[in-house]
Structure 1
Amino acid sequence: MQNNNTLTGGQALVRLLANYGVDTVFGIPGVHTLELYRGLPGSGIRHVLTRHEQGAGFMADGYARVSGKPGVAFIITGPGVTNAATAIGQAYADSIPMLVISSVNHTASLGKGWGCLHETQDQRAMTAPITAFSAVALSAEDLPELIARAYAVFDSERPRPVHISVPLDVLAAPIARDWTNEVVRRAGRGLPSADALRQAVDKLAAAKRPMIIAGGGALHAADALAALSERLAAPLFTSVAGKGLLAPEAPLAAGATLCVQAGWDMIAEADVVLAIGTEMADTDYWCERLPLTGEVIRVDVDSRKFNDFYPSAVALLGDSKATAEALLAALPAAARDASGARDRVAQLRKQIDGSHAPLQLIHKAILERIAKVLPDNAFIASDMTQLAYSGNYLYPSKAPRGWLHPTGYGTLGYGVPAGIGAKFGAPERPGLILVGDGGFLYTAQELATATEELDSPLVVLLWNNDALGQIRDDMISLDIEPIGVLPRNPDFALLARAYGCEVRQPQSLDELERELCEGFAHPGVTLIELKHACAK
């Protein structure tokens, strides 16, 4: 019988997580995670019951994107891990801090092939390629070290998921000593070398047409980037992950437009490009290579990014905010004449407005209605759907951490659970989810979690074109007969009502605007189904 004064490994791990500041975990309890759940009462950590482990992972992702804190998921051995793997891969691709704690079979059985419940040959190996690291805690004493190592990744390196497997016997056995207060946090990501900073300052000061590209690694550097853009008279582009770093009305805000021809043409004119906190991936640009003709100065915490597709003229290894502030301090104090750069950004905006295809014009009209009524502090979580693809560069995000999109991995089913998770990361912020009919059916069951747990506004805007629209269009453009892209959908209104959602089905854009306003005033979940024909 367990001594009431002695913690099991599972209980102690939960207490340790609470001491690291974890306030929410997403998961589904199972026979292999009972000792973790023994530790939750009284810990101060809220448990959110998801309806699938993939949903738990996506919710942890959304939580992390809006809060800046690691999202945490508890999942079971074997199928729990494989179910969550897609969400882990998405977080890895987009550099999102996530801590996945799973059970694994008893230590004595590992690698033996005994046929234990949920057994896999090597559970750690399944997540190793999609995590910063994946490890097995072979004793309770390993746990504080592994959690400290995970937070070193989150605090000091490129933030990516970490998976820690804990054998059943380690979870259940009493700990030999209390290590639940052994919290180790790193100081941060630091500054580049003085020599590298000096080289960067010299190149930026001499540049005639400098431009900036900022990404998700610079979300905490918005003020410094705005000042740097003004000081250099440099238009500022962002990746999709960096949307909102500069106010959309700012004269030098070029937006997330490096995925359209007008943006590609403009960045080709730069003689120096400062790329800060962005891996400059083709998933951000919808092309394999940007047509860069000038020198590239890169600021990153991942040294592997300095000599990939865009070799660095100067490599600045360090924190985006601290580095931007150091550059500002060293550059000449007088701001340059920005009239030419502002005119070029205004021209970019006109070029984009004049280049929309018919489908993008429909999307633009919907996005304009959303922007008109969306509360200033709201966030948007989007799925892989054509409406969101247009929104990636057309929607005017007003602040960082306001547009959540599965850019790098590009998985369907992200939007709904990520939006739900974001509500737990920022409960005071209204949320809007943009999802297509195809992606919605990947994770629609998580509406049960939303209606069960949320008492503040979350609106799901379901763009229903009764097709896997992007793939259908791609097939047609390649002269491939459309196969498997015209599914028979359920009655989405009935489905949403079954989960307890308020439901609206606007028949025009004017009605959509009214329904969005009502949804943002409703303390719960509203599903708005917008048919393609009603948006024309």
Structure 2
Amino acid sequence: MPTGAQLLVGSLKVHGVDTIFGVPGIHNLSIYDALVDERAIRVVTTRDERGAGHMADGYARATGRPGVCLTVPGPGVTNALTAIGEAYADSSPVLLLASQLASDTVAMDREDFHQLRDADGVLRSVTQWGTRPGRAQDIGSAVDEAFRRFSLCRPRPCYLDLPMDLLGATVEARADPVRAPAPGRTAPSWPEVERAVGLLATARRPLLVVGGGAWKAGRSVCALVEQLAIPVMMTSSGKGVVPEDHPLSLGDGWMAHQLGREALEGADVILAVGVRFGPLTTSWWTRTIGGRLIHVDLDATEIGKQTPAAIGIVGDSAEVVEALVTEARQRQVAKPAPWLDVVAVRERRRAAIRERAPDAVATLEGLRRVLPDDALVFNDINGIACWGAGAFVCRRPRTFHYPIGFGCLGFALPAAIGAKLARPEVPVVVLSGDGGFLFSGHELATAVKEKAAVAIVVFNDNAYGTIKADQHHRYPARPIGGELRSPDFVRYAEAFGAIGYRVESVHDVPGAVAMALGHDRPTLIEAPCPQALPPWIETEP
């Protein structure tokens, strides 16, 4: 008879899992032993559990399928929390397999090895759902429930807290386990679709706002944009759902409160699809959105949460938008007279950010020229990448990843490694600062070992540069805490077996990245980082 660990591995395989990122330890060795016999699942050993979590997140972002990471209890779980928190904030489907102490010890505060008090409470803070199976035979159904939620709900992380005695116990095998088709998501309410199209038909100044929840709906969103001739603004997570150089695209909504704000504030009807109306879109909720809002989201709790909605439609974004397109065609809704010179607004905005951060914008525009549209760019918060929302034009969704929700440093490198292992044929680029890179730079060892040929740019200003600039703006001539002493990053990369070289000007970065994409192992490019006031600081009244 199989063990609980073998049941776990078999259930993961049934749900299409082909890669697990993790760190072995005494509490999860039974899982690793089960993986020895399952050659269909690749095991990637990372240098800490946070790296495993970010790699699983990067895998999920690159494929649209859940990423899986495996930890020991206690410090393994707490190490992974930052990565799982980032995945939660950005709605990325990650399954955390947290091995646990024996069942009879878990509920007692024995201060046992790796014991974490209230592990469930800790894990619930960064996940949508999780469970600790009470019996070994329940492990398979727990996996099924996690994947059911990934399929039907907002795709946020889930966890399984797996006592080591259950993993080692024998159970009856599942009889030829076959993935049961998940029940379909609730169909959108057609009366609400009709009401939404009726409202859009009466709009004189309509606007479409698209967020990360619409990333699978690109084709139907573009059809709706062209059907109604409606200007579209995207959030950072929604970049590329509509190509950002489309004639009706205003581009990314980052800094919408500063540049091009007339679109958000001037619209009389706003159709928002997969949007949370978070701080950056609304300038920390200080901007007035006076138009009537049609809010579409898979998560019913998001509708009207930040901004009151005249019409709320709960459902899958692609299905809802397809229904809107169908209804608009049947009604033969007339296109409104243009109320906004979209291209002029977009170009005025880009001209303004070029003026504020000319070197950063030139670098990002140069990268766009050398990278194919399907290239994946993973960013940490740094003096160059923070301008990417406005300056890096995306033509496909889920190709520009910025840790906008949780805002953690150290995301970019491990997430990029996970993405590259998932899609080795696609160019993958990391844009990091020297401060953020060293949060997870040791994962270069994983990239070299796994032959993940990512191109890594480290913009080095020997500082937490964006915070230093912000501090100087708020507290002039009172610097403290922002200066760093960074290593020679070329030698650092070479010590791990990666390729390393340095460019003298940030304008040389695009050419260096183009060269790095031809290498068969990771390449680190160290570049200077010009100073500019970060984009979240308003410079206009």
TM range (shorter): over 0.9
Residue 319, structure 1, aligned to residue 292, structure 2: no
Residue in structure 1 matching 2:117, options 102, 121, 138: 121
Once the two structures are TM-superposed, the CA of residue 460 in structure 1 deviates from its matched residue by 0.3
SS at match of 1:268: helix
Shift in alpha-carbon separation, 1:283–1:149, aligned structure 2, 3 A: farther
Q: What does residue 338 of structure 2 align with?
A: 340
1:235–1:254 contact (8 Å) kept in structure 2: yes
Query: What is the CA–CA distance in structure 1 between the aligned matches of 2:283 and 2:75, rounded to whole Å?
Result: 34
Query: What is the CA–CA distance in structure 2 between the aligned matches of 1:337 and 1:132, rounded to whole Å?
Result: 41
Q: Give per-residue Cα distances to partners, 1:243-265, cap 9 Å, x unaligned.
A: 11112221011111342412322
Once the two structures are TM-superposed, the CA of residue 378 in structure 1 deviates from its matched residue by 1.0
Q: What does residue 506 of structure 1 align with?
A: 503
1:12–1:180 contact (8 Å) kept in structure 2: no
Once the two structures are TM-superposed, the CA of residue 242 in structure 1 deviates from its matched residue by 1.0
Once the two structures are TM-superposed, the CA of residue 335 in structure 1 deviates from its matched residue by 7.0
Q: What does residue 161 of structure 1 align with?
A: 157
Q: What does residue 190 of structure 1 align with?
A: 186
Shift in alpha-carbon separation, 1:287–1:443, aligned structure 2, 3 A: same
Query: What is the CA–CA distance in structure 2 between the aligned matches of 1:345 and 1:357, rounded to whole Å?
Result: 18
Query: What is the CA–CA distance in structure 2 between the aligned matches of 1:509 and 1:386, rounded to whole Å?
Result: 11
Query: What is the CA–CA distance in structure 2 between the aligned matches of 1:306 and 1:34, rounded to whole Å?
Result: 44
Residue 130, structure 1, aligned to residue 126, structure 2: yes
List alignment gaps of at least 5 residues for structure 1: 1-5
Counterpart code for 1:412: L
1:189–1:301 contact (8 Å) kept in structure 2: no
Residue 17, structure 1, aligned to residue 12, structure 2: yes
Query: What is the CA–CA distance in structure 2 between the aligned matches of 1:306 and 1:500, rounded to whole Å?
Result: 49
Residue in structure 2 matching 1:440, options 434, 437, 443: 437
Residue in structure 1 matching 2:292, options 291, 295, 309: 295
Counterpart code for 2:214: A
Query: What is the CA–CA distance in structure 2 between the aligned matches of 1:277 and 1:187, rounded to whole Å?
Result: 22
Query: What is the CA–CA distance in structure 1 between the aligned matches of 2:529 and 2:318, rounded to whole Å?
Result: 42
1:379–1:430 contact (8 Å) kept in structure 2: yes
1:101–1:165 contact (8 Å) kept in structure 2: yes
5 Å-filtered alignment, 1:68-217, equals 68-178=64-174, 181=177, 183-217=179-213
1:97–1:161 contact (8 Å) kept in structure 2: yes
Q: Give per-residue Cα distances to partners, 1:459-501, cap 9 Å, x unaligned.
A: 0011112111111111111126221100111111111111111
Query: What is the CA–CA distance in structure 2 between the aligned matches of 1:532 and 1:120, rounded to whole Å?
Result: 41
SS at match of 2:35: coil
Moved more, 177-186 or 69-78: 177-186
Query: What is the CA–CA distance in structure 2 between the aligned matches of 1:202 and 1:235, rounded to whole Å?
Result: 18
Query: What is the CA–CA distance in structure 2 between the aligned matches of 1:437 and 1:49, rounded to whole Å?
Result: 25
Query: What is the CA–CA distance in structure 2 between the aligned matches of 1:510 and 1:96, rounded to whole Å?
Result: 33
Q: Percent identity?
A: 35
5 Å-filtered alignment, 1:263-412, equals 263-332=260-329, 334=332, 336-337=334-335, 340=338, 344-356=341-353, 360-412=357-409
Q: What does residue 28 of structure 2 align with?
A: 33
SS at match of 1:293: coil
Residue 462, structure 1, aligned to residue 467, structure 2: no
Once the two structures are TM-superposed, the CA of residue 46 in structure 1 deviates from its matched residue by 0.4
1:234–1:252 contact (8 Å) kept in structure 2: yes
Q: How many residues align?
A: 528
Shift in alpha-carbon separation, 1:114–1:508, aligned structure 2, 3 A: closer
Query: What is the CA–CA distance in structure 1 between the aligned matches of 2:92 and 2:464, rounded to whole Å?
Result: 27
Relative to the length of structure 2, the TM-score reads 0.94
Shift in alpha-carbon separation, 1:179–1:13, aligned structure 2, 3 A: farther
Moved more, 330-339 or 37-46: 330-339
Relative to the length of structure 1, the TM-score reads 0.95
Q: Give per-residue Cα distances to partners, 1:378-416, cap 9 Å, x unaligned.
A: 110111112111001221012112111111100011001
Query: What is the CA–CA distance in structure 1 between the aligned matches of 2:341 and 2:183, rounded to whole Å?
Result: 40
Query: What is the CA–CA distance in structure 2 between the aligned matches of 1:349 and 1:267, rounded to whole Å?
Result: 13
Residue 59, structure 1, aligned to residue 73, structure 2: no
5 Å-filtered alignment, 1:224-263, equals 224-260=220-256, 261-263=258-260
Once the two structures are TM-superposed, the CA of residue 182 in structure 1 deviates from its matched residue by 5.2
Query: What is the CA–CA distance in structure 2 between the aligned matches of 1:533 and 1:94, rounded to whole Å?
Result: 28
